[in-house]
């Protein structure tokens, strides 16, 4: 995703994008697909989670009963997340100092899904797993009896933790009447009216000096952008006109690349509603939607005009980032917070402030304003305790610490008087820490690890209010950019599109996997088509193949999951 910015700005964004965030497997919300390479959903949301949960008064917390040295292993689903590894960061050391616990967090070597599925098939699981709560593999873990339920462990070892959990969160995330994981980043109903402005898509940005050099043209429509890119190519032939991140449907949802969501929201502003077919009792795959496909047709037009480099389809994250750090794109897509706290500061220090990137406002397509599906997050990754855990008692008690007000403040701010002070009743980093986070966000993360340690983040009024205050105060440019896009947000919560994909082990889940694989192979064909006829032929062939593998069966299951999602949310 990344990575995040300061706690006080985007509230310590736990990529990716959004929307995603919406997770890498949550294709219900195209405008906020989560889990980009190196990004987290919190980066999409640009805000702290807002679920309530408070410490219990009275008896000593369970986690304090044993603070002897203890280490547990954890697999993190997301091989981009090197910043989350426990080394000698301040927050990690503080957690160990208080609890005695160290997390040996591991990342996949190679493809995350292959790595995870191999672990599950072999039964060789670590003590804990951080995995997108709506990843198809979750049901494999539960149905195969490979993970504990949180209820079982809390009742036996950490009853205080159970009293801290938000009832709406427990209701939404329970499966077969049990809570099997603790979701990181679950938000409550007031999220859209409080805190930092939500940016649920990965915006596109224009390099400032190039934009000025071509006359600062109006960028109101997708046609305006196309014309501006042609001018940029003519005036700066050595700069790639467009920079978008890698395409991988399995990781990034049906948009393929999280960078596509900016265009999809313009060409298909009513996509979510249009996918719901109550008369047929299906939720259509977005690939059947004309506006959705028009966004890929636009990318094809970019290619045919020499504005899109085909290498972007196979670039690794490191290659994309290297060119972005070098300001080698006229326009580039990136999570809002990453651009303003990671890339722009580096560009300014190495190349000059004139080459920084400036936000492009929402783009109209076919005479329609864009619509960004903004909703409180239903959670990002879940914290699972596996049956292989050597000491599940100690782990669930550590989770109690992490979820407590004390644990939240430790993970976000560190030690009062050392790394932060209370100012008007709200925490605020020491000035040197603020300066480092704004000047070199990577160094800030490496030194302090705030928000990276436990990855069990929840809301609390104190730190949420501090985040909103500091974001506007410390990042006025980013705040203004977020407000520019905010007017296109709409609340998609009640649409019930947050957890659609069939269980991966079910017949419909197998079909869904085939559809995703077919679409993943089709995207390059569409973008690299040499003519409209080629594009139409490739698309028609895909629809035919999708129907042959039984797509409608999966669409019927997605409709039932859509109804279940609304029921869990109490939507009438």
* pLDDT computed for residue 74 by the predictor: 98
pLDDT tens per residue, range 492-551: 988 999 889 998 889 999 999 999 999 999 999 999 999 999 999 999 999 999 999 999
CA distance 173 to 377: 12
Per residue, the 3-state secondary structure of 418-468, as one string, reads CCEEEECCEEEECHHHHHHHHHCHHHHHHHHCCCCCCCCCCCCHHHHHHHH
Task: Look at residue 528 and give its three-state secondary structure.
Answer: coil
pLDDT tens per residue, range 191-229: 766 777 888 999 999 999 999 999 999 999 999 999 999
The average confidence (pLDDT) of the chain is 88
Comparing C-alpha atoms, which of 60, 64, 157 is closest to residue 389?
Answer: 157
185 in Cβ contact with 41 (< 8 Å): yes
Residue located via tokens 């949301």: 45
- Pseudo-torsion of CA 304, 297, 314, 305, nearest 10°? 20
136 pLDDT tier (thresholds 50, 70, 90): confident
pLDDT tens per residue, range 97-118: 999 999 999 999 989 999 999 9
CA distance 98 to 482: 37
In a 13 Å sphere around the CA of 422, the CA atoms on its Cβ side amount to 6
* pLDDT computed for residue 31 by the predictor: 31
Comparing C-alpha atoms, which of 204, 289, 219, 220 is closest to residue 254?
Answer: 289
Task: Look at residue 177 and give its three-state secondary structure.
Answer: coil
High-pLDDT (> 70) share of the chain, %: 89
Residue 385 tokens read as 């305790």
Per residue, the 3-state secondary structure of 221-286, as one string, reads EHHHHHHHHHHHHHHCCCCEEEECCCCCHHHHCCCCCHHHHHHHHHHCCCHHHHHEECCCCEECCH
CA distance 263 to 328: 21
**DSSP assignment, residue 492?**
-
pLDDT tens per residue, range 223-263: 999 999 999 999 999 999 999 998 999 889 999 999 999 99
């Amino acid at each position: 995703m990344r990575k995040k910015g300061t706690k006080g700005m985007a509230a310590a964004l736990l990529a990716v994008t959004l929307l995603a965030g919406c997770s890498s497997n949550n294709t219900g919300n195209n405008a906020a697909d989560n889990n980009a390479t190196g990004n987290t959903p919190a980066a999409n949301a640009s805000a702290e989670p807002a679920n309530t949960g408070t410490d219990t008064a009275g008896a000593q917390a369970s986690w304090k009963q044993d603070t002897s040295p203890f280490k547990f292993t954890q697999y993190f689903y997301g091989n981009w997340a090197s910043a989350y590894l426990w080394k000698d960061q301040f927050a990690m050391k503080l957690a160990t100092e208080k609890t005695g616990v160290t997390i040996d967090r591991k990342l996949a070597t190679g493809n995350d899904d292959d790595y995870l599925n191999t672990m599950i098939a072999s039964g060789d699981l670590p003590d804990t797993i951080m995995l997108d709560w709506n990843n198809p593999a979750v049901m494999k873990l539960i149905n195969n009896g490979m993970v504990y339920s949180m209820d079982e462990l809390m009742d036996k070892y950490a009853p205080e933790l159970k009293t801290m959990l938000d009832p709406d969160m427990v209701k939404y995330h329970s499966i077969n009447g049990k809570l099997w994981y603790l979701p990181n980043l679950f938000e409550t109903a007031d999220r859209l009216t409080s805190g930092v402005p939500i940016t649920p898509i990965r915006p596109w940005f224009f390099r400032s000096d190039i934009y000025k050099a071509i006359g600062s043209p109006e960028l109101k429509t997708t046609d305006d952008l196309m014309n501006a890119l042609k001018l940029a190519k003519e005036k700066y032939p050595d700069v790639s006109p467009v920079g978008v991140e890698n395409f991988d449907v399995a990781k990034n949802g049906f948009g393929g690349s999280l960078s596509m969501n900016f265009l999809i929201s313009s060409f298909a502003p009513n996509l979510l509603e249009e996918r719901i077919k109550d008369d047929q009792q299906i939720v259509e795959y977005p690939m059947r939607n004309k506006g959705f496909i028009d966004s890929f047709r636009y990318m094809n037009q970019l290619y045919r005009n020499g504005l899109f480099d085909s290498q972007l389809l196979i670039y690794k994250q490191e290659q994309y980032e290297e060119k972005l750090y070098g300001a080698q794109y006229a326009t580039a897509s990136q999570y809002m917070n990453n651009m303003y706290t990671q890339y722009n500061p580096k560009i300014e220090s190495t190349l000059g402030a004139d080459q920084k990137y400036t936000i492009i406002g929402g783009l109209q397509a076919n005479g329609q304003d864009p619509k960004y599906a903004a909703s409180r997050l239903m959670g990002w990754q879940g914290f699972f305790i596996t049956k292989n855990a050597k000491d599940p008692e100690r782990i669930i008690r550590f989770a109690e610490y992490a979820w407590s007000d004390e644990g939240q403040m430790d993970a976000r701010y560190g030690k009062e008087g050392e790394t932060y002070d209370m100012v008007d009743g709200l925490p605020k980093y020491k000035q040197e820490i603020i300066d480092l986070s704004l000047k070199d966000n990577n160094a800030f993360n490496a030194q302090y690890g705030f928000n990276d340690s436990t990855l069990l983040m929840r809301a609390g009024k104190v730190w949420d209010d501090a985040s909103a205050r500091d974001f506007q105060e410390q990042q006025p440019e980013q705040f203004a950019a977020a407000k520019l896009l905010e007017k296109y947000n709409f609340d998609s919560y009640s649409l019930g599109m947050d957890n659609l994909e069939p269980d991966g082990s079910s017949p419909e889940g197998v079909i869904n996997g085939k559809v995703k694989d077919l679409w993943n192979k089709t995207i390059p064909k569409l973008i690299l088509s040499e003519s409209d006829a080629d594009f139409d032929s490739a698309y028609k062939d895909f629809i035919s193949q999708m129907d042959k593998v039984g797509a409608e069966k999966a669409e019927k299951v997605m409709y039932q999951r859509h109804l279940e999602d609304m029921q869990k949310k109490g939507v009438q």
